[in-house]
Chain A
Amino acid sequence: MPVFKDTEQMYDCIGAVLDFLREDPKASTAFRKSGLVIRFKYSDPDGEITIDGSQDPISLTCGPCDSKPTVDMTMSADTAHQFWLGKLNLVAALNRGAMTAKGPIPSIMKLLPAISPAYKQYPEILRAKGLAHLI
C-alpha cells in the first residue's frame, strides 16, 4: 500500500519539506551556490517536483515545469518518504537502483549537509498536517 493516497497528498508533504529547505538560509545558500536544477520524478503516485537553484530566489514547482534539469532523480514516492524521514540508506538506494540519479553525482552528495536538517523537520510537517500515522 503506497504511503501517499494520491499525487496531491504527495505534493503537499514532499513539497512542504522542499519548501522548508528553500526558505532555510543554509540550505538555500547551498542550493544557489550549486546552481543545480534538480527534478525529482516520483512514481506510485506519479508526479514531479523541480527545485531550481539557478534562480534567485530559488523556485519550487510541483508538477511539470520548463526549467531544464541538471540533475534528474527518479524514485518511488515511498522511497522519497523514507529519504526525508532520514531512514533511507542513500548509497544502497542509488547503487541498487531504488533511486536513480542522472547528473553530477558528487554535486548532489555535496548538498547533503545542507538538506539533512530536513530529516528532523519532515516528521513535524507530517504531524502538523495530521499525518503522524505516516511517520
Chain B
Amino acid sequence: MHGYTGKLLEVDLSTGATRDLPLDPGLARDYIGGSGLAARLYLDRVGGAPYPAPLDPANPLIVMTGPVAGHLLPGSSRFALCARSPQTGLWGEASCGGFFAPALKAAGYDGLIVTGAASSPVYLLVENGQAELRDAAHLWGRDTYETDDALKAAHGAAARTVSIGPAGENLVCYAAAVHDKGHVAGRTGMGAVMGSKRLKAIVALGKGKPPVAAPASLKPLREDVLARQADNLTSQTFHAYGTDGAMYVGSLMGDVPFHNWRAGEWDDDAIQALDGATMAETILTSAGTCHSCSVACKREVAVEDGPYIVAKGPGPEYESVAAFGSLLLVPDLAATAAANDRCNRYGLDTISCGATLAFAIEATEAGLLDSHLAWGDAAGILQAVDEIAHRRGLGDLLAEGSAAVADRLGPAAAAFEVTVKGLEMAMHSPRTYHGLGIGYATAPRGACHNAANVYLMMGGALYPELGLEEGLPEQSSEGKALMSAVGQDYACVQNAASFCMLNSLNLSPTEMAEALAAVTGFPYTVEEIKQAGERLWQLKHGINYLLGATAADDRLPPRLLEPLEDGPTAGSVPDMALMLSEFYALRDMDVEGRPSRARLEALGLADLADQLGV
C-alpha cells in the first residue's frame, strides 16, 4: 500500500496480548482513515447490541491516523481518538495535531485498537514495528507534562507521547488525552476511556515511512498551498496571533460568547485584553507548530508575575481563551492562560470545562447549586478546575459535565445548559452564523464547530466543486442546510485524511482529491471524496442511533434560541425547523432522523441499514 503502513495494532489490555492486523486496502479506500475508518472498525468490532458502555473494558478505543500524515503536504498532522463517549454515551471522537500521527506511522502502524483494561497502570510502547505494554505505576497520578518528560527521558527525545493526567485517571467525563505538551485530543472524554483501561500513555517512535504513490506530484501541490497561505488573511492572522487572533474580529460579528451566551456585548477593553494581538505583546514567548505546517498557530506563553503565574509552555487557543475568559466574564489573559495550563496538565477539555463552569455559575445564581463560583472570579474558577480534575468537593459533581448536572438539578437548569447531545457548545455563535446552528445540532459527536466546518460557515472558505459557489448572509437560515451537509461531509474527509481544518482555507476539494490520489495511488476524484464524506457522516450518525440517539437530540439548546437584545446579533435566531427539515431531506432521512436503506446501500452501508432496521 502507498501512504499507509498497511498495519493496525490490536492491543488487549486485559490479557496483555498485542497483535498485528492487516489494513484492508478496500476499507482504506472507502473510509480513508482518521475517525471515519475508526467508526467502521468500531461497528465491525462491536457487532450488535448490547454495545459496551463507555467505561466498560469491552469499549474499543481506536487511535487512527490518515494517509497524508507524515508526508510533506501542509497541515498533514492529525490523528483521531475514538470510542463510545463517557460524556455523551454516543459516538465520541477527538482530533489532535502535533507530531504523533507521523510518529505512529514511523513506528509501523496506521492505527491502534485497544480493548480490555489492565489490572494496573500501563503504557503502550510502539517502536519500529514492535509493541510492548510497560508498567506505569510510577507515572500514575502525574500530570501530562511530567509524564511526557518521564517517557522522553526513558525513550529518547524523538519519542512522541499521548497521555492522560489526573482527570483521565479520575474518569472525569470530559477528560482529554494530551500529546507531548499542549497538543490535545480534547473533546468527548477520550481521556476517561483511557483512564478506565488504566492506559496511562502511548509512546510511538520509529524510522519507517510509508512510500507515496506519486511523490513528484506532491511538491508542486505543497508549493501552491504554501503560496496561498502567504496571502490568506486567516492563515496570516493565525500565524501572527494564534487562533486567538479571532477574538476581537469575531466579537465585531457577535461570534464570541459572553456571560454564558446571555449577552451580545461586553466591555471593549476586556475583549481587547483577551485578543491574540494582546497576547503577542504580553505573555507570548514564541510560536509553535505541528508536523509540516507553516501556519504555526500554536502559542507558547509565560506569566512571570501577578496572581496567575504560568511556567513557560503551551498557551491557550481561541476556544480556551473564550471558554475561560469571555464566557465567564474574566477579562484577564493571564488567568485564561493559567486555566489552560491546568487543563493541559490535568488532561481536561477546556471547552467543556469552561462551559460547565459557566453553567454552574448560573445554577448558583438561580439557587440550584451551592458553590463559591461567580462571574469574573478567576481565582475561584481556577480552584474549581483543580477540584474537577481531582473530583474533590463540588468538582466531583461538575466532573460529570453540564448536561448530566442539569439532569440532576431539575428542569429549571435546562435554561442555561448549553450542550448538544451532552457535549458543551464550542465558542462560535449560531446566532451569528445560522449554518453553525444546523451544524451543531446534527454533528455526530455533539456541538462541534470543526465537524460543522466552521471556516466554511464563517466565511473563510468556499467550495465551488462541491456546489457551494458563493457566500450566503450569515444571519440567515436560507440555504444553510445544504451548506452544512456539504461542509460536514467534507470535514469528515479532512479528518479521515489527517488534514488540519485550517488547511481547508488553502486546499481546494480538487486538490484534496489530487493529494489523496498522489499519496495513496487510489484514483480519487472530487465525486468520490464527496461520496466518501457522506459515507463517513452517515456511518457515525447511524452508530449514534444504534447507541440510542433520536431526532430529538438534533436540536440547539434553549439558550441559543433566545434572541439577544443587544450586540451585532440582536434579534437573530437560527430557524432550526427550516434547516432541520431541509437537512433531513438532503440526507434522505425520515422525520425520526433515520436514513433510507437506498441511501445507505448506495454508500456501501447495507450492514448499517440492516442493524438500523431500515
Question: Which residues does A use to contact B, with CB under 8 Å?
Answer: 86, 89-96, 101, 105-106, 109-110, 112-113, 116, 119
Given A95-B505, A105-B233, A109-B277, A89 contacting B474 (CB threshold 8 A): yes
One of B55-63, B171-179, B248-256, B521-529 at the interface: B248-256
- Contact across chains for A96 and B459 when beta carbons are under 8 A apart: yes
Task: Give residues of chain B (455-482) contacting chain A, Cβ–Cβ below 8 Å.
Answer: 458-462, 471, 474
Q: CB within 8 Å of A: which of B219-237? A: 232-234, 236-237
Given contacts A95-B232, A110-B277, A113-B272, contact A86 B252 (CB under 8 A): yes
CB of B254 to closest CB in A, whole Å: 10
Instruction: Tell me whether B592 is interfacial, beta carbon within 8 Å.
Output: no
Whether a CB of chain A sits under 8 angstroms from the CB of B288 is no
Say what secondary structure dominates the interface of chain B: helix
Please measure, in the bound complex, the distance between the C-alpha atom of A113 and the C-alpha atom of B272, giving whole angstroms: 7
In the complex, which of the residues B233, B268, B458, B461 contacts A113, with contact meaning CB atoms closer than 8 Å?
Answer: B268
User: What total count of A-B pairs have CB within 8 Å?
Assistant: 64
Interface string of B248-278 (1 = CB under 8 A from A): 1100110000000000000010011001010
User: Which of the residues B245, B268, B462, B471 comes within 8 Å of A106, measured between beta carbons?
Assistant: B245
* Contact status A89-B253, CB under 8 Å: yes
**B240 contacts A by Cβ under 8 Å:** yes
Report A4 CB to chain B, min CB distance, Å: 22
Most buried by A among B234, B252, B458, B474: B252
**B233 nearest in chain A by CB position:** A94
Determine the residue in chain B with the shortest Cβ distance to A93.
Answer: B459
The 5 lowest CB-CB distance pairs between A and B, nearest first, are A92-B459, A106-B240, A94-B233, A105-B236, A110-B277
Q: Given A89-B253, A92-B460, A106-B240, A112 and B233 touching (CB < 8 A)?
A: no
The range of chain B's interface size is 20 to 34
Give bound CA distance, A96 to B458, whole Å: 12
Contact among A95, A101, A105, A106 with B459 in the assembled complex (CB-CB below 8 Å): A95
Tell me if B79 is interfacial: C-beta within 8 Å of chain A. no
Residue B416 CB within 8 A of the other chain: no
Chain A residues within an 8 Å CB radius of B237: 105-106, 109
In the complex, what distance in Å separates the CA atom of A31 from the CA atom of B562? 39
Q: Is the Cβ of B461 less than 8 Å from the Cβ of A95?
A: yes
- Asked if A112 and B252 make an inter-chain contact with CB atoms under 8 angstroms apart, the answer reads yes
Whether B313 sits at the interface, judged by CB under 8 Å, is no
Distance in angstroms from B296 CB to nearest chain A CB is 13
Which residues of chain B come closer than 8 Å to A95, judged between CB atoms? 232-234, 459-461, 505
**Which residues between 432 and 469 of chain B lie within 8 Å of chain A, taking CB atoms?**
458-462
Contacting residue for B249 out of A96, A101, A109, A119, CB 8 A = A109
CB distance from B228 to the nearest CB of A (A): 11
| Interface check B568, CB cutoff 8 A | yes
**In the complex, what distance in Å separates the CA atom of A6 from the CA atom of B471?**
28
A–B pairs, 16, beta carbons within 8 Å: A86-B252, A89-B459, A91-B249, A91-B460, A94-B233, A95-B459, A95-B461, A95-B505, A96-B471, A101-B233, A106-B236, A106-B240, A106-B241, A112-B252, A113-B271, A119-B252
- Chain A min CB distance to B294 (Å): 15
Q: Is the CB of B459 within 8 A of A91?
A: yes
Give bound CA distance, A96 to B115, whole Å: 46
Which chain B positions have C-beta within 8 A of A94? 233
